[in-house]
Amino acid sequence: MMPEFKKTPAKAQKLPSKEEHLEKESIDAPISAAGEFKLEDPQTGDLYYPCHLGILFCGKFEASLFKFLERHLRDIFNGVFYEIHNLGEYTFSEELLAKGIKEEYKNSPNGEEKLEVHPTNKLYQILIDSRITQRINMILLITDLPIYSSENQDIVFLFGEANLKHHTGIVSTLKLKESFYGRAENKELFFQRLLKEVIHEIGHLVLQAEHCNNNWCVMRFSDSLEGIDHKGVFLCKECGKSLERLKEEFNFS
């Protein structure tokens, strides 16, 4: 579902004066419509398993993070991936970084601090491009940038999102850190939260599935930190069965 563009009212309007026009432009300048990032993917199509998964990082992360995620992804999705590749760090050009950003108030106690939030479509396009240049079937981006959904403009800050059609997913770490809420950093808790979100988004991509209603399942939808902390890192029995069916379908040994 694409956001609708505002339609010009049918009745005739006075043309804005040059000053009015300039003023409007300067307000609108940093904000582009989500539609600007219409995803271009010359290679969308069915995915065959096992496949190659790439993890791309955007921001500063501990070197141990990739190994940690890889180990757990292998446990959960045993056999689904030939290899899980560390694609290293992506660096934005200033021009691209500025595109599509929206300013939002960080929901902090004083409510004063503003953050620049990035549209998911901008990030998906980077992933689609790397998928093609690096010949990787599926890519997940882990970023410390705040993100908003290009599909659902009602969600101000997103933890993560998956794009099934383009075999790409995004997880934003910003709101998974205790420091975001003004509390002391806790690395272990951060790694656990991130792991759940990473498994969740890859779960969408692999199982081609919606959310699960089982309480502890990692595929349960969570729009709050409490929800993430409440659920487990594993697939429930039902989701596990879907994974087994997929393996049967693709003749896994």
CB of 183 vs Zn ion, minimal distance in Å: 25
- Return the structure tokens found at 121: 């479509």
CB-CB contact of 136 with 87 (8 Å): yes
CB-CB contact of 181 with 211 (8 Å): no
Candidates 102, 156, 214, 250; binder of Zn ion (CB under 5 A) is 214
Stretch that binds Zn ion, among 5-13, 69-77, 80-88, 217-225 (CB under 5 A): 217-225
Helices (H), 4-119: 18-28, 64-76, 94-98
> Does residue 123 belong to the site contacting Zn ion (CB under 5 A)?
no
Strands 168-172 and 160-163: antiparallel
Question: CB-based burial of residue 44 (10 Å sphere; 0-12 exposed, 13-18 middle, 19+ buried)?
Answer: middle
> Does residue 219 belong to the site contacting Zn ion (CB under 5 A)?
yes
Candidates 65, 141, 212, 243; binder of Zn ion (CB under 5 A) is 212
The residue type found at 241 is: K
The one catalytic residue in 4, 161, 188, 201 is: 201
Neighbours of 216 (CB within 10 A): 12
- Residues contacting residue 90 through CB under 8 Å, at least 6 positions apart: 56, 57, 58, 126, 130, 141
What span, in angstroms and rounded, lies between the C-alpha atoms of 155 and 152?
A: 6
CB of 200 vs Zn ion, minimal distance in Å: 5
CB of 205 vs Zn ion, minimal distance in Å: 10
> Does residue 207 belong to the site contacting Zn ion (CB under 5 A)?
no
70 belongs to the catalytic site: no
Smaller CB distance to Zn ion: residue 101 or 219? 219
What span, in angstroms and rounded, lies between the C-alpha atoms of 90 and 145?
A: 12
CB of 174 vs Zn ion, minimal distance in Å: 17
> Does residue 239 belong to the site contacting Zn ion (CB under 5 A)?
yes
Q: Which of residues 57-96 bind Zn ion (CB under 5 A)?
A: none
Stretch that binds Zn ion, among 56-64, 114-122, 126-134, 207-215 (CB under 5 A): 207-215
CB of 206 vs Zn ion, minimal distance in Å: 13
Using CB under 5 A, list all residues that contact Zn ion. Answer: 212, 214, 217, 219, 236, 239
**Residues annotated as part of the active site:** 201
